[in-house]
């Protein structure tokens, strides 16, 4: 059994946990992050990647709207390589209540969100694919944010400042020392290794999974999981975030993201016991397609690449069990005060947009309890990759000889860190994933620096296999590179390939018709017909994965 002592433990590698780890590291507090799967693999990575201006919440929840616009401004500075400042539109359809338009303008003013009325013709000029029947349009400072990149950048910064990270490592038990939580016992799910970590403070940032975790320390924490489903369209059919101007409902938003567009979302209650098994239902797909088509008619001709869903971590505020006091806002719990268990705090609720604020609140409390650490600096210290504004034209010139598309994609994903990734050696910039222009050098960098332990992790760091072909060719190539760069044995690589394809399959199944079915037949033909991957038998070690 390995034993580690540190100052702070953060449980959960979503945006909030990663943000808390970074915040603590910036304050000079030694910290360890434990994540049961991969960074940004839970709720963080399962939303539409909308950098909210707050307008969506302005009418119903002014406090959330204010938090959003304030964080929106901060993130545009500290995380610029994770963000596209696309702007957003709120459009009213003929069937929508026209009075919401005025209400939204008014409430955006209360919240301090710039919201200007633009003509229908101007809106169609900005976003030509928009439904030409719209009655009116408002422009707001929405944008897009890549949750994988954002979370990974937070982790990378923390690690560069001395923090440690354990992914695919599950907390089995919170260890008590009398009336205090003194540490955690965890298990590496890939190797089976057991680790005990002790610290002065434990921050539970495990989101919806926090209910289970707290129970292991004898603390009751009640979550009200709500499922949100989304569809990914195979092309970037819009360049500006498009919102429907009405009381928030299903299928209201179409967000461009990298090479694709996303239609979101739905809202369905799910049983807590089922949070790890949720899938997208046919009626949700129908709703999303139908609503999406109303905003952008070409949705009907687009191919749906995949469907996925996340669980919103709504939490009961005061331990009440009837759900009346569910909050959609941020909840910070000092378990010493609430449950007489020292050394443990929970940060929950909130949204991706407010991850930094949540991290700041958690780190403030953690530092107060540790009687250590400096003031928060996360609102003005740029994340790795966003240190400096990088100019595309200058980068293309700097990397003369490397195809512009490769320079552009690497820059888009890694910002200023492009200099740690790309160099003028042909091996380095040879393409592995042609859909997303991922090079061998980018994969090598991710394997060595970004806590990548399998091909699914690699996909979150680089977008390999996320494009129109969903990894038909690059998955095998990636498996080969794990061996080449000593990141896995041959057996482990082959097993990862199975896991990656099975994971992709989960998101494709719900939308298996049309070209998605063609693509699947092709992929199955290659990986089973040609490769016989389904017939490979693994040694026990790899089987554990």
Interface residues toward another protein, by CB under 8 A: 282, 426-427, 429-432, 440, 473, 476-477, 479-480, 483-484, 489-491, 493-494, 498, 501-502, 504-505, 509, 512-514, 517-518, 520-522, 524-537
Distances (CA, A) of 81 to 38, 147, 219, 285, 391: 21, 11, 39, 31, 11
Q: Helices 62-78 and 355-370, interaxial angle, to 10°?
A: 90
Residue 427 CB, nearest approach to another protein (Å)? 5
Distances (CA, A) of 348 to 176, 221, 222, 330: 22, 10, 11, 6
Residues across the chain: 545
**In terms of CB distance, is 449 or 509 closer to another protein?**
509
For residue 514 the two structure tokens come to: 């049309």
**In terms of CB distance, is 140 or 299 closer to another protein?**
299
**In terms of CB distance, is 343 or 441 closer to another protein?**
441
User: Is 541 exposed, middle or buried (CB count within 10 Å of its CB: 0-12, 13-18, 19+)?
Assistant: middle
Strands 438-439 and 143-145: unpaired
Residue 422 CB, nearest approach to another protein (Å)? 13
Residue 398 CB, nearest approach to another protein (Å)? 19
**In terms of CB distance, is 248 or 408 closer to another protein?**
408
Please say whether the beta carbons of 222 and 331 come within 8 A.
no
Distances (CA, A) of 292 to 41, 93, 233, 300, 368: 26, 12, 11, 8, 47
Residue 497 CB, nearest approach to another protein (Å)? 8
Rounded Cα–Cα distance for residues 437 and 189 (Å): 31
Give one word for 514, left, alpha or beta, with left for phi > 0 and alpha for psi -120 to 50. Answer: left
**In terms of CB distance, is 116 or 282 closer to another protein?**
282
Please say whether the beta carbons of 398 and 404 come within 8 A.
no
Residue 491 CB, nearest approach to another protein (Å)? 5
**In terms of CB distance, is 174 or 455 closer to another protein?**
455
Residue 143 CB, nearest approach to another protein (Å)? 33
Residue 476 CB, nearest approach to another protein (Å)? 6
Rounded Cα–Cα distance for residues 182 and 194 (Å): 17
Rounded Cα–Cα distance for residues 168 and 188 (Å): 6
**In terms of CB distance, is 265 or 494 closer to another protein?**
494
**In terms of CB distance, is 4 or 512 closer to another protein?**
512
**In terms of CB distance, is 329 or 468 closer to another protein?**
468
Residue 512 CB, nearest approach to another protein (Å)? 6
Rounded Cα–Cα distance for residues 475 and 496 (Å): 9
**In terms of CB distance, is 104 or 289 closer to another protein?**
289
Residue spans of alpha helices (H) in 37-114: 55-58, 62-78, 99-111
Residue 287 CB, nearest approach to another protein (Å)? 13
Question: For residues 399, 404, 407 and 410, what is the CA-based torsion angle, rounded to 10 degrees?
Answer: -170
Residue 296 CB, nearest approach to another protein (Å)? 19
For residue 234 the two structure tokens come to: 């195979």
């Amino acid at each position: 059994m390995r034993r580690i002592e540190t100052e702070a433990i953060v449980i959960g590698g979503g945006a909030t946990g990663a943000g808390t780890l970074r915040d603590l590291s910036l304050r000079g507090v030694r910290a360890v992050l434990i994540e049961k799967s991969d960074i940004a693999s839970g709720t963080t990575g399962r939303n539409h990647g909308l950098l909210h201006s707050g307008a969506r919440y302005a009418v119903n929840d002014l406090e959330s709207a204010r938090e959003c616009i304030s964080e929106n401004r901060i993130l545009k500075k500290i995380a610029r390589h994770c963000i596209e400042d696309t702007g957003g539109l709120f459009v009213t359809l003929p069937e929508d209540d026209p009075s919401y338009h005025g209400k939204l303008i008014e409430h955006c003013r209360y919240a301090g969100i710039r919201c200007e009325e633009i003509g229908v013709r101007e809106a169609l000029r900005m976003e030509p694919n928009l439904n030409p029947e719209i009655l009116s349009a408002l422009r707001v400072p929405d944008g897009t944010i890549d949750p994988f990149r954002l979370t990974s950048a937070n982790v990378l910064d923390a690690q560069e400042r001395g923090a440690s990270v354990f992914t695919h490592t599950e907390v089995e038990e919170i260890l008590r020392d009398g009336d205090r939580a003194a540490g955690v016992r965890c298990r590496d799910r890939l190797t089976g290794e057991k680790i005990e970590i002790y610290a002065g403070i434990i921050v539970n940032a495990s989101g919806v999974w926090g209910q289970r975790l707290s129970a292991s320390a004898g603390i009751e924490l009640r979550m009200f999981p709500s499922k949100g489903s989304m569809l990914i369209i195979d092309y970037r059919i819009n360049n500006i975030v498009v919102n429907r101007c009405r009381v928030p409902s299903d299928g209201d938003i179409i967000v461009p993201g990298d090479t694709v567009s996303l239609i979101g979302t739905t809202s369905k209650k799910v049983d807590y016991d089922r949070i790890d098994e949720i899938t997208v239902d046919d009626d949700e797909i129908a709703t999303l397609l139908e609503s999406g088509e109303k905003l952008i008619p070409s949705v009907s001709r687009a191919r749906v690449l995949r469907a996925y869903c996340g669980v919103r971590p709504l939490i009961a505020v005061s331990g009440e069990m009837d759900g009346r006091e569910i909050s959609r806002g941020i909840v910070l719990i000092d378990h010493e005060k609430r449950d007489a268990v020292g050394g443990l705090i929970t940060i929950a609720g909130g949204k991706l947009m407010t991850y930094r604020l949540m991290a700041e609140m958690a780190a403030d409390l953690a530092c107060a309890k540790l009687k250590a650490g400096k003031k928060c600096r996360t609102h003005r210290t740029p994340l790795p990759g966003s240190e400096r504004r990088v100019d595309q034209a200058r980068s293309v010139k700097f990397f003369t000889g490397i195809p512009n598309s490769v320079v552009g994609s690497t820059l888009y994903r890694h910002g200023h860190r492009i200099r740690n990734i790309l160099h003028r050696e042909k091996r380095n910039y040879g393409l592995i994933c042609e859909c997303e222009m991922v090079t061998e050098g980018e994969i090598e960098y991710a394997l060595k620096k970004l806590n990548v332990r399998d091909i699914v992790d690699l996909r979150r760091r680089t977008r390999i296999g996320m494009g129109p072909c969903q990894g038909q060719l690059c998955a095998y190539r990636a498996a080969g590179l794990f061996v080449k760069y000593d990141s896995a044995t041959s057996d482990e690589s082959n097993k990862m390939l199975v896991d990656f394809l099975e994971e992709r399959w989960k998101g494709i199944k719900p939308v298996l018709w049309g070209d998605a079915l063609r693509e699947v037949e092709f992929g199955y033909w290659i990986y089973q017909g040609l490769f016989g991957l389904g017939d490979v038998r693994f040694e026990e070690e790899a089987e554990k994965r």
